[in-house]
Amino acid sequence: MKHFSLDSLLALPKRYRANLINSCAGYKTANLIATKGTQGTTNVAVFNSVVHIGSNPPMLGFILRPTTVPRNTYQNIKDTNSFTINQINAAIIEDAHHTAAKYDVDISEFDKTDLTEEYLDDFHAPYVKQSHIKIGCTYVNEYHIKENDTILIIGAIEHLYLNEEAIESDGWIHLDKSNTVSIVGLDGYALPSILDRYDYPRPDQKVTSIYTDKP
């Protein structure tokens, strides 16, 4: 088994180290975060850091890189208090990846890709029409992570849209049915498949499968 000490990690070429460290934590969520500025220009960008914060009240979070350079997503969220999170599916991975390109603030990534803006229920920020699971969020708070100068943005879930057939009877979302992909590192896209689900674990009791779609 290959071993990297901290000293050897720090001695690696920058791009090699970035790929290694971004991949070692495993599969990550793949989402497009879309916003709309006060001047009407929209922005959409790929993020691999969206995380569950809590279900009561329902909240999500994501990590924003240092604001030492302009971050259109961050500025739009601060100006309008709204953003959408749109899961990436297998059909749109090329366009989703392209949104990471650095365009000027007055250029919308929607205009540079085949991704389509969609407005639902008078929410300020656009959704990505091609996404199968879309979440409308309002800004709640942010926390500066001083160790690397990043920001954890917290958003309250105001709207959730998804295909009804992907929702199991207990509320669990069958992501396979939405072709939701995950991200490996910074540039790899994978299509995971569910292996099993289990009942709530209790001490000294064997867990039992509750997955009904196994072949």
Domain-by-domain residue ranges, the chain? 24-190
> Which strands make up the sheet holding 28-29, listed edge to edge?
28-29, 182-184, 188-190
Q: What is the mean pLDDT of residues 59-65?
A: 95
Prediction pTM value: 0.94
Q: Does residue 68 carry a pLDDT above 70?
A: no
Q: What is the mean pLDDT of residues 118-135?
A: 98
Cis check for the bond before 57: say yes or no (omega within 30 of 0).
yes
Q: What is the mean pLDDT of residues 47-53?
A: 96
Q: Does residue 215 carry a pLDDT above 70?
A: no
Q: Does residue 177 carry a pLDDT above 70?
A: yes
Q: What is the mean pLDDT of residues 29-41?
A: 96
Backbone angles phi, psi at 117, to 5 degrees: -70, 140
Q: Does residue 67 carry a pLDDT above 80?
A: no
Helix (H) or strand (E) segment spanning residue 148: none
**Dist CA 79 CA 164 (whole Å):** 33
Predicted pLDDT of residue 65: 86
Average pLDDT over the chain, rounded to whole?
94
Predicted pLDDT of residue 66: 81
Q: What is the mean pLDDT of residues 163-184?
A: 94
Superfamily of domain 24-190: Electron Transport, Fmn-binding Protein; Chain A (2.30.110.10)
Q: What is the mean pLDDT of residues 140-163?
A: 96
Predicted pLDDT of residue 126: 98
Beta bridge partners of 51: 61
Predicted pLDDT of residue 56: 97
Q: What is the mean pLDDT of residues 122-129?
A: 98
Q: What is the mean pLDDT of residues 77-84?
A: 96
Within 10 A of 127 (CB to CB), how many other CB atoms are there? Answer: 24
Q: Does residue 70 carry a pLDDT above 70?
A: no
